Amino acid sequence: MSRENVEIVKRANEFLERRDWQGVADLIDPDAEMHGTVGGIEEGQVRRGLAQITGAFDAEDDEVWDEHRIEPREFIDAGDRVVVLHREYQRGKGGVELVIDTASIVDVREGRIVRMQGYMNPADALEAAGVSGT
């Protein structure tokens, strides 16, 4: 089942990148939670449900970034969880560019994503998921 979870998370990432909200809706539980990135400015915030989660992606892009893309580099099977190691490319409205490595832990239950938690430090995500670094 855990390999299937990796495939679900890969597809969800593809849908999010394309802003295909119907595709996302098919993979995310209606009561899913997206927690603010540990070590980030939104740490401690929680968005609940598909509308709040997808709205966060749209609002972030419109208000803060001229460009913001997240490229998954590796998907690590952790049973009911998948750790995704990312490289983020950002260019702010003021022209400042940033490239950083981040990570997220995605919890999957019964074929649907139920929780997402970002991490500014990939090592922290690996530790939280109980897996070794690669």
Q: Which residue has the higher pLDDT, 103 or 19?
A: 103
Tell me: pLDDT of 100 over 60: yes
Residues 6+ apart with CB under 8 A from 125: 38, 83, 85, 103, 104, 105, 117, 119
The answer to whether the pTM exceeds 0.85 is: yes
The pLDDT of residue 63: 60
pLDDT 10s digits, 22-31: 999 999 999 9
In the chain the domains, ranked by start, together with CATH numbers, are: 2-129 (3.10.450.50)
pLDDT for the residue 69 = 81
- What whole-number distance in Å separates Cα of residue 20 and Cα of residue 100? 25
Share of the chain above pLDDT 90, in %: 63
Question: Using a CB cutoff of 8 Å and minimum separation of 24, what contacts does 93-100 make?
Answer: 93/64, 93/65, 93/66, 95/66
As given in the structure block, the two tokens for residue 1 are 């089942």
* Mean pLDDT, residues 17-36: 92
At 56-90, the pLDDT tens digits run: 766 555 566 677 788 999 999 999 999 999 998 88
